[in-house]
């Protein structure tokens, strides 16, 4: 998958499949399963590092994890979140940091939160030949201003303005997070670049989920938009419990696991 291929998928009406990954193992599994893109999300701050928000993860940590994902990926487009305060100061800061991400990790594109207010930065990155995915709607890096991580954004005019501004500035795609289905459908039909939904209904041009949520590995997070495709958390618990029981009862290792 390439950036032009991403754009061509929308034109052809082919839904785009996106998942997050944070290391080579999971990235390789998702890549082999045929996802179109892997997002190295700043959600690693929460689901990997154990923080309450996405704010603490650093640029160096994002680059490190992006490199792991790239090494595990053969076909999917790898997109890396620009973490909090790595682009907000201005376009020159964003160019320098996005350049580091692509040079040091080998990823293809970056993602940043914002529309109208980040249009100048999106344009500066695009002019520098750095592919940019925008992110409008509920923006997790704005959690302090929003007062929570799960606030549905309903301001139609602002959402449309953000999407238009991102497209006009040169973004190749836009994530739409936690917005009403009708508004997401309107945006998707109006703009020429792909929309990737999370909590934005089925009318987007593609969908993204946090992989560890989708696989049932996380606990205590059950938003309406999330579908858990398996319960790996319980599977892992059961496997570890069986292993511990075998070790404590001396059933493992057995003769078949021992060297002569």
Q: Spot the catalytic one: 61, 177, 186, 260.
A: 177
Interatomic CA distance for residues 259 and 13, integer angstroms:
57
Distant-in-sequence, close-in-space partners of 174: CB < 8 Å, separation ≥ 6:
115, 133, 134, 135, 136, 163, 166, 167, 187, 191, 193, 194, 195, 196
Contact 36, 208 (CB under 8 A): no
Return the SS3 of 227: coil
CA pseudo-torsion sign 9, 14, 20, 25: negative
Distance between first and last Cα of the chain: 50
Interatomic CA distance for residues 166 and 154, integer angstroms:
18
Q: How many helices (H) and strands (E) does the chain have?
A: 11, 8
Return the SS3 of 131: coil
Place of tokens 């009318």: 203
**Beta bridge partners of residue 198, listed in sequence order:** 177
Pinpoint the alpha helices (H) of the chain: 3-12, 24-33, 44-47, 59-71, 91-105, 119-127, 143-146, 156-169, 181-190, 211-214, 232-248
Is 182 noted as a catalytic residue in this protein?
Answer: no
Active site residues: 177
């Amino acid at each position: 998958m390439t950036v032009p291929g991403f754009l061509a998928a929308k034109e052809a009406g082919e839904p785009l499949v996106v998942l997050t990954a944070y290391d080579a193992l999971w990235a390789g599994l998702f890549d082999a399963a045929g996802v179109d893109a892997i997002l190295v999300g700043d959600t690693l701050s929460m689901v990997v590092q154990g923080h309450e928000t996405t704010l603490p993860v650093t640029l160096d940590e994002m680059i490190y994890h992006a490199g792991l994902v790239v090494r595990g990926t053969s076909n999917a487009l790898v997109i890396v979140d620009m973490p909090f305060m790595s682009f907000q100061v201005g376009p020159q800061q964003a160019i320098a940091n996005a350049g580091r991400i692509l040079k040091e990790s080998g990823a293809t594109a970056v993602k940043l939160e914002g529309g109208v207010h980040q249009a100048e930065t999106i344009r500066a990155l695009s002019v520098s030949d750095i592919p940019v995915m925008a992110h409008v709607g509920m923006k997790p890096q704005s959690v302090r201003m929003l007062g929570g991580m799960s606030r549905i954004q309903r301001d139609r005019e602002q959402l449309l303005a953000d999407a238009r501004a991102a497209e006009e500035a040169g973004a190749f795609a836009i994530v739409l997070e936690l917005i009403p289905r009708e508004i997401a459908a309107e945006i998707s039909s109006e703009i020429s670049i792909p929309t990737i939904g999370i909590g934005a209904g089925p009318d987007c041009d593609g969908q993204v989920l946090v992989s560890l949520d989708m696989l049932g590995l996380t606990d205590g997070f059950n938003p309406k938009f999330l579908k858990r495709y398996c319960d790996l958390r319980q599977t892992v618990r059961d496997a570890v419990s069986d292993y511990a029981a075998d070790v404590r009862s001396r059933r493992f290792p057995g003769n078949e696991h021992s060297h002569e």
